[in-house]
Structure 1
Amino acid sequence: MKLTGAQILIECLKEHNVDTIFGFPGGAVLNIYDALYKAKDDIRHILTSHEQGASHAADGYARATGKVGVCLATSGPGATNLVTGIATAYMDSVPMVAITGQVTTALLGKDSFQEVDITGITMPVTKHNYIVKDVEKLADILREAFYIAKEGRPGPVLVDICKDVTAAITEYEKKTPKSVPDRPIGVTQEEIDRAADVINSSKCPFILAGGGVTIAGANEELLKLSEKCKIPVANTLMGLGSFPGTNELFTGLTGMHGTRTSNLAVSESDLFIAIGARFSDRVISNVKKFAPDAKIMHIDIDPAEIGKNIVVHYPLSGNIKKILKQLISKIDKRKSSEWADKIISWKKEFPLKYQNDGVLRPHYILERIYELTKGDAIITTEVGQNQIWAAQIYKYTNQRQFISSGGLGTMGFGLGACIGAQIGRPEKKVINVAGDGSFRMNLTELATAVEYKVPIIVALLNNHVLGMVRQWQELFYDSRFSSTTIDRGTNFVALAEAFGAIGINVTKPEEVDDALKRALESKDRPVVINFEIDRDDKVFPIVPPGAPISELIEE
């Protein structure tokens, strides 16, 4: 049948079972929005307050569901407003298709109104991108975009479509999407045997699990490997939830804000096994002093990551799930382990501590959120102290339960991501742990949550400063607090109510439970809880820049 380019776009979205798209209209996408209007019974369009909110919502939707998130924006500033969200998804390997409108083909390259070379701009932060100038190529490009976004190491793909292409008519034939194949194991039996021998002979093995474990769906295999061999496990920020946070072999985060147990274990291990992690600077800190007595084994689907940041002695590039299954069948079962017992004793000796002095502390707030949600909520975060407190204190036991901007560290990410996650997982309670600095950046998305009756909770840890930057200024810049105080008198409760949300103010520990219970009971309105915390509360532990991770500041 003959369809317009805009109609073909809708049909291709339906081919890929897209049920939700986040976007903001404009001139270059009018034809697409007209087609969306006619397809509203099949595809739900969420009108965000800003294009960046759309990209973060698509990202949160993808992380929470494992599906491809889809966002849509017009040409020029609409497209450029997506860029931060696209880069966020790229750094954290999130499958996303970003669709942008473009000026007509006749106007390309002429500095036309709202023209920008969005494919050139996004080339470094997309897995692939396209500009579509021919309607006959549109369907195949869209199908390929969805395939690329999901295949192998996931990532965002941008499809820029000229306006005349969305109006042009061509023949459309429905096709079944090309299935993403289950990647082969990617390593030889000899490499598996060698890795198993190394694990069996190690006395102090240690595992760092990253976001790649969740992407690979290898959570069960990770748990089996750890428990069979009594190997302690730490997480990167992106890996939280890939190993049960309640397991006695779990040691918490590793690196700059890692627990003392994790960082000591790394420093004393004789075999360091990284799985689906990329050895970022926040994990390894001083590369010359990282795991000084350990051989490094790195298991990852992306061969470009192996050896990029650290010397790897046992590289295993391939399908993480299949590699772990093979290793589990080859390794010896350990009934006991002095090393594991030592790690467990360290956990008791070096717990995360905070003052319990009758003052409202973020640690207490996160503990109460964990208890009242029975550890079953999806937690999104902004970026800064709020992010690390949420990572340290809430115990994540399931994959896709912790959603945060890890690689790019995008302030303003959490609210949009929270909306996307809640829409994707309506059966779950989704809570955005925020700082007031990050929250200000995209707080207009509260209007989106109100309009669509998305019952998210914003736990706003309000210290009236840019907390993490201020903490660095105090610890490493002799307390020269340059431009980090943002005590602007904003009444966040009144602001929430102005948007149509529920606003609650909390200043004392004894008010926390009632506020959270009220928020958790809301079924069709977002809730903002303004927790007034002390500006001098800090994230500990912290490793000073350039120091080995064993040299932590704890208070």
Structure 2
Amino acid sequence: MRTGTVTTDRTIADLLVERLRAWRVPRVFGQPGEGVALIVEALRRAGGDPGFVPSRQPEAAGFMAAGHAKYTGGVGVCLATQGPDALHLLGGLYDAKLDSRPMLAIIGQQTFSALGSAYQEIELPRLFGDACAQFLRTAAVPEQVPYLVDQAIRTAVSTRSPACLVVPHDLLGQFVPDGMPHPDGGGVLASAPGLPPARVLPHEQDLNAAAQLLGAGRRVAILIGQGGYGAADEIVELADRLDAGVATSLLGKPVLDERLPYHTGVLGQVGTAASAQLMAGCDTLLMIGTNDPWTGYYPMPGQATAVQIDIDGSRLASRYPIDVPLVGDARETLQALLSRVPHRRNRDWRDMIEGAVDRARTECDARAEERTARLNPRLVLRELSPRLPADAAVAVDVGSVTYWYARHLRLPPGAQAHLCGTLASVGSAVPYAIAAKFARPARPVFVLLGDGAMQSGGLAELITVAQHWPEWPDPRFVLLVLNNSDRAGRGGEPERGPETGAVRAPWPDLDRPAARGMPAPETVRAGDIPHAGWARLLGLHGIGVDRPDQVGPAWEEAIAADRPTLIEAVVDPSIPLDAPEQPFADLRGLTAGGVEEGAGTAVRGRAQTLRERAANGADLV
């Protein structure tokens, strides 16, 4: 192979970083290690373009990259060395895969000559083959590196999935040959950064068929997923044309203003009774950018005619039988539909929906106000709603906090909120929030998680927050830890503190626990971790609450603080999650007068008739 003449001190690691810069990658997340030390050094020489954000553990780096992709829409990039560090990236990669987000993992590998008997060697192609099924390559010669970076990012963006590039140590340290000659054998590795967005719209006849089905519906329900981002105005206009009710998936919760009187809330096990009732009573369903897995809460198969809009054709009809599938961008597809869908007034249906919404909201408020043995976690989330800034970014972890977020936190229009939705991996929220803050440092960020999730990496990554927050123009980075001591034992009782009459979490002075009549750290059970005390030890602000009257002032204190703040709420672990009743159990509760007997059979019969007429090209309106 021709190697060319070396006339520069640029290494292949520098070349890789330059290619990331050409793709306008703003930062790379990772934990430094031997296998990627040369890349980290090249990032340092690049002077912050791209920047490098070191994590305390490689798993967090993977979730930071996934979080970056979710909050920005761009490609999240992370790196790790071979062996154990590479293993820990899998959580973030699967998160990106299952939630359809572009991501690139760059993995350092042992030198080629050592493969087969190397220290920390893992068969990386086999390990990452499923998570990064769309693109997984190993660079072998310098000439491949720019090409493979281009193809990896292009594939990740085009397929909305993670990609993986493996680069051996010995290749990273080589100097860039003059002119970068192509390998012998005649192959030309030609590529260039950049991928202009495509415009994807359904065919005219499919749009017409969808408009006819929707216009013929008497009781229309709209289910919105994360694919509906950016189409809120079109969704509202269409819902008003059809007097439809609107529900969202968990990932689609931030898409639409939740104050709308016909917005029934989140659908599924974590959702509301109003959303379950909406699906139980509809005869027509429009799904927009959703792959919501709670199919037990969808209409019964055959109950409703259905239209689905999704940019990914492989998702169509994967959750519910679809009469008219539409492959296209949600916003433009809805704009095209609006000119075709007639105004079909049905105030009876809309009034039913709004009544169900009113009842559900009243029930949520009542449950938040319930007096419990310890602090009611529903109240803690409810009290954040009127105080949450409109430009906030919210990161939510896995566990009971997901239920309280879905039902009791009302997001203002414009707020972003993300969680590890489909993979549901505990410990993802703090890395998500760090990525969101780096993406827009002037934006307030809120993290919602339980004590178990905080102990699953959050305590370590709080060090990352403590390291970087002085660089942020807006210091608001608020963590809520709902401490119900569900990780190995009952937590310690909180201690009274001066701020706002609130309580401090256990051990505010971690350096002198014995002097405060508390056990030494090495004897403390896992459930006794002093989360707010740990924040104060790191130079951050820490607040503890255990009474309802302390919750609102604690939120206000945290939002006004001059540094990141951790609120530890000692909450009652016995609060039931109370999944909504299965929607097919009883349709009579949908209206005051009840749905007539045999309504389900009538709806299914009408759906079949509409399908047959659509198949024969008949006018459905």
Provide TM-score, normalisation by structure 1. 0.88
After TM superposition, the structure 1 = structure 2 runs for residues 130-149 of structure 1, keeping only pairs within 5 Å, are 130-149=137-156
In the alignment, which of 81, 86, 92 is matched to residue 93 of structure 2? 86
Match of 1:241 among 250, 254, 259: 254
Shift of 1:493: 2.1
Q: 2:313 matched to 1:284?
A: no
CA contact (8 A) 1:15 1:175 kept: no
2:29 alignment counterpart:
22
Of 341-350 and 1-10, the range deviating more from structure 2? 1-10
Length, aligned pairs only: 523
Residues 1:306 and 1:384: Cα distance change in structure 2 (over 3 Å): same
How far apart in 2 are the matches of 1:223 and 1:135? Answer: 53
Deviations for 1:64-118, whole angstroms, at most 9, x for unmatched residues?
Answer: 222221111111111111111111111111221111111112223x141122222
Question: Helix, strand or coil: the match of 1:159?
Answer: strand
Q: Aligned ranges for residues 402-551 of structure 1 at < 5 Å?
A: 402-443=417-458, 444-453=460-469, 455=475, 456-465=477-486, 488-523=527-562, 525-543=563-581
Matches within 5 A, 1:188-207: 188-207=203-222
In the TM superposition, residue 339 of structure 1 has moved relative to its aligned partner by: 1.2
Q: In the aligned structure 2, how far is the partner of 1:236 from the partner of 1:376?
A: 21
1:368 is the counterpart of 2:383? yes
- Counterpart for residue 113 of structure 1: 119
1:101-155: CA deviations, max 9, x gaps? Answer: 11112223x141122222321222224222222221111111122222222x512
Mapped partners of 2:546, 2:576: distance in 1: 18
State the superposition RMSD in angstroms. Answer: 2.5
Query: In the alignment, which residue of structure 1 is the partner of 2:612?
Result: none
Q: Quick check: 1:150–1:180 contact (8 Å CA) kept in 2?
A: no
Partners of 2:544 and 2:568 within 8 A in 1: yes
Q: 1:175 offset after TM fit, Å?
A: 8.0
Report the CA distance between 1:466 and its aligned residue. Answer: 5.9
* In structure 2, distance between residues paired with 1:256 and 1:228: 29
Shift of the 122–337 alpha-carbon distance from structure 1 to 2, 3 Å rule, reads: farther
Q: Secondary structure at the match of 1:386?
A: helix
**Secondary structure, counterpart of 2:19 in structure 1:** helix
Task: Tell me, in whole angstroms, the C-alpha distance in 1 between the residues paired with 2:539 and 2:164.
Answer: 34
The Cα offsets for residues 352-378 of structure 1, whole Å up to 9 and x where unpaired, read as 241524552222211221212245422
Note if contact 2:270-2:402 (Cα within 8 Å) is conserved in structure 1.
no
- Which secondary structure does the structure 1 equivalent of 2:171 belong to? helix
Match of 1:471 in 2: none
Q: How does 1:3-402 map to 2 (within 5 A)?
A: 3-108=10-115, 110-126=116-132, 127-151=134-158, 153-168=159-174, 169-170=176-177, 177-185=193-201, 187-214=202-229, 217-280=230-293, 283-285=294-296, 290=300, 293-334=303-344, 337-351=347-361, 352=364, 353-357=366-370, 359=372, 360-398=375-413, 401-402=416-417
CA contact (8 A) 2:276 2:580 kept: no
| Overall identity of the aligned pairs, in % | 26
Secondary structure of 1:330 counterpart: coil
Following the alignment from structure 2 to structure 1, what is the Cα–Cα distance between the partners of residues 142 and 584? 54
CA drift of 1:210 comes to 0.7
Letter in 2 for 1:208: L
Compared with structure 1, are the counterparts of its residues 188 and 466 closer, same or farther at alpha carbon in structure 2 (3 Å cutoff)?
Answer: farther
Structure 1 residues 405-431: Cα deviation after superposition (integer angstroms, max 9, x where no partner)? 110001000011111111112222111
Any gaps of 5 or more consecutive residues in structure 1? Answer: 468-485
Distance in 2, Cα, partners of 1:535 & 1:335: 46
Given that 1:219 and 1:399 are in contact with CA atoms closer than 8 Å, whether structure 2 keeps it comes out as no
C-alpha distance in 2, partners of 1:170/1:242?
Answer: 50
The alpha carbon displacement at 1:347 in A equals: 1.1
After superposition, the C-alpha distances for 1:469-526 in whole angstroms (9 at most, x for unaligned) are: xxxxxxxxxxxxxxxxx86322222222233332211111111222222211234x33
Counterpart-to-counterpart distance in 2, 1:120 and 1:488: 38
Say whether the 8 Å CA contact 1:264–1:550 is kept in structure 2.
no
Could you tell me which amino acid in structure 2 is paired with residue 119 of structure 1?
A: P
Q: Which letter maps to 1:511? A: Q
- 403-412 or 166-175, which deviates more: 166-175
Q: 1:400 to 1:271 in 2, by over 3 A?
A: same
Contact 1:252 1:258 in 2 (8 A): yes
Deviations, residues 241-297 of structure 1 (Å, cap 9, x unaligned)? 1121122221101122221111111011111111111241xx21277x636521122
CA contact (8 A) 1:269 1:294 kept: yes
Instruction: Tell me the distance in 2 between the aligned counterparts of 1:375 and 1:334.
Output: 33
Q: Is residue 24–residue 50 contact of structure 1 (8 Å, CA) maintained in 2?
A: yes
SS at match of 1:25: coil
Return the alpha-carbon distance in structure 1 between the equivalents of residues 578 and 485 of structure 2: 19
SS at match of 1:208: strand
Extract unaligned runs of 5+ from structure 2: 1-6, 181-189, 489-524, 590-621
User: How has the CA–CA distance of structure 1 residues 529 and 261 changed in structure 2, closer, same or farther, with 3 Å as cutoff?
Assistant: same
Aligned residue identity for 1:373:
L
Instruction: Determine the C-alpha separation between the residues in 2 that align with 1:175 and 1:286.
Output: 47
CA distance in 2, matches of 1:373, 1:397: 7
CA distance in 2, matches of 1:419, 1:340: 41
* CA distance in 2: counterparts of 1:145 and 1:550, whole angstroms: 48
CA distance in 2, matches of 1:541, 1:457: 28
Q: Which segment is superposed worse, 427-436 or 126-135?
A: 126-135
In structure 2, C-alpha distance between the alignment counterparts of 1:340 and 1:130, rounded to whole Å: 53
The answer to whether the Cα contact below 8 Å between 2:433 and 2:446 also exists between their aligned partners in 1 is yes
Deviation at 1:172, TM superposition (A): 6.9
